[in-house]
Every structure is written in C-alpha cells, then in structure tokens.
Amino acid sequence: SESKPQTDMPSFVSTLKSCKHIIAVAGAGLSAASGIPTFRGAGGLWRKYDAITLATPQAFKENPSRVWQFYHYRREKALAAQPNPGHLALAMCSVPSIREKILPGASFTLITQNVDGLSRRALDQIAEMHPELAEEIRSPVVQDSLLEMHGRLFDVVCTSSKCGHREHNLDSPVCPALAGTENVFAQNQPEPHIDVADLPKCKKCGSLARPGVVWFGEIPWHLRDIDVEVRKADLCIVVGTSSKVYPAAGYASEVQARGGKVAVFNVDRSDGDQRADFLFLGPSESTLPKALG
C-alpha cells in the first residue's frame, strides 16, 4: 500500500505510547548541532578530501599519517563538543526510571553509528543532574543498551593481528606529533607528513595503532545484540542518518517487514523515508525533545 508518511506529532506520540520494544538508529545528523561535521553533503569535506574515502582500511594503509590527522581533528572536535537536546532526549529513554514516565512498559535500545561518544556523555550528564540516578545510569542495563556499532573515536587499537590490544584513550593530542595539525585548513598549504614512527603506538607491543572505529568492509560491533533488538522491535526511530550505509540502513525496513512502525527524524529527505510511517523533517535537536518529552 502506498501512502504518505504521517507528519503530525500527536498521532506519533500516541503510537509511541503503545509500543513495547523501541529501537532508535542514529547517524551523524544527531550530533550536527553539537558542531560535529556529517559525512555526506555539506560538512563532508576535510581539507580537500571526501570524509568517506578517508574512513577506509585502504586509506589508512596508503597514508596512515593523513588518516590519523583526520581522526585527530575529529577527536579534538568531539572533546570540545557537548551533547545536544537530541542526545539528551534519547538518553532519557535509556534510563528505566525516567522511561517509565514517558514510555511505560517499553524497552529502549539506542543503536548509534556515531563514534563521537556524545550519547554516552549525555547519560553522564543526566547522572550529574540527578545524583539519585547515578548508580542506575552506571549499571550495565543502561550502559549496554547503547550500542555504538561503528566503534569509538577514543578507542585506539593495535594493527598487529597477533596483538590486537585495545585501549580507551582520551589524550589530547593522541600523540605529540599530531598536535596542531587540525589547524591546517587551506588547500594550498602543504599537508604535514608524519612519520609512522611518530604516529600513535600500541602500548603493549609498539606496533602502529589505529583508531578503534569500523571502516568500510569491516564488521560492525554488537551485531548479535542489534539483531535481537531489531527482531523484537515494534517501533524504529531513525535519526539524522542518510541511510546509505549498511547494515544500519536496513534496520527500519526489517522492523517494518515484521509489522513494526518506522519514524524518521531528519533535517532533509533521506533514503527510504517515503516508506516511513512517520516523517519529521527538521533538526532532530528540536524535534526529538518534542516527540520524546
């Protein structure tokens, strides 16, 4: 059946209240209002390079110096950024004692493609605002309901397959040689070249380290947990993603194929949104708090 997505908030809110297993699939648009550039469209260029071509194993193999400069720039941006009202609205749904008041009796899982850590920091902010919830928020029930499927900017991983050591690393800069390279913007300014010896190293075996993110052709994280939630879901909220990258782009139609509903929140049109049950065109930092408040 062909019918246009609904666009009125009250009917979405009443559908939302009747759902039992809710998933949200987020993309770069969720973090746009925090000053984090998106991948496609405006904001998708870093120096003269397309962000998509830098986020590949091939790019890292050919020029680890350039790719590390890109990730160093992204780490510094994320460190300086704050979660926005869209992150906070989703984080509230992740805390059972808050969720009971907005979505009584429902489960909620946030599947994010973003590597910036802002959704986890939104949880930390709620814990700071409500100290009585801090213990609940620190618990695995809450922390494990946030699935960062494309990895994390602040993980650093050894490239040696024999070692594979991974660490959480918030250093700014991630290594001394990268300091200041984020400020090289002009296209005609020579690109700094950093010797592999001066790039981030594995603290265990000394091999070259890489950002702990999921590049094209690599297997996303948490696929088993995601599959369980996608199969159960009766509502899929799609936020700030162009829905061009799989497997994430396929979750909404999987939910719909099993009879669930789909609601898209995006500032612009995105792939598959004509098949959504609800479509809210606008910045998610203002539409999400209205929908989930």
- Residues engaged in binding Zn ion (CB under 5 A): 158, 160, 163, 165, 202, 204-205, 207
- 215 makes contact, choosing from Zn ion, ligand BJW, none, with CB < 5 to 8 Å by partner type, with ligand BJW
Tokens of 127: 């814990």
Q: Decide: is 219 part of the binding site for ligand BJW (CB under 6 A).
A: yes
For ligand BJW, the binding residues in 123-152 under the rule CB under 6 A are 150
Q: Which of 150, 165, 168, 222 is catalytic?
A: 150
* Cβ pair 26, 90 in contact under 8 A: yes
Q: Decide: is 213 part of the binding site for ligand BJW (CB under 6 A).
A: yes
For ligand BJW, the binding residues in 16-45 under the rule CB under 6 A are 27-29, 32-33, 38-40
| Minimum separation from the CB atom of position 101 to ligand BJW (A) | 25
| Minimum separation from the CB atom of position 28 to ligand BJW (A) | 4
User: CA-CA distance, 216 to 152, in Å (whole number)?
Assistant: 15
- 80 makes contact, choosing from ligand BJW, Zn ion, none, with CB < 5 to 8 Å by partner type, with none
| Minimum separation from the CB atom of position 163 to Zn ion (A) | 3
In 33-106, alpha helices (H)? 51-54, 57-62, 64-80, 85-94, 96-102
Tokens of 214: 């999921």
Catalytic annotation on 72?
no
Neighbours of 194 (CB within 10 A): 18
Q: Which residues of 236-261 are buried (b: 16+ CB within 10 A; e: fewer)?
A: bbbbbbbbebeebbebbeebbeeebb
User: CA-CA distance, 36 to 253, in Å (whole number)?
Assistant: 27
Q: What is the DSSP letter of 192?
A: P
Query: Would you tell me which residues interact with ligand BJW (CB under 6 A)?
Result: 27-29, 32-33, 38-40, 55, 113, 115, 150, 213-220, 223, 240-242, 244-247, 266-268, 270, 283-285
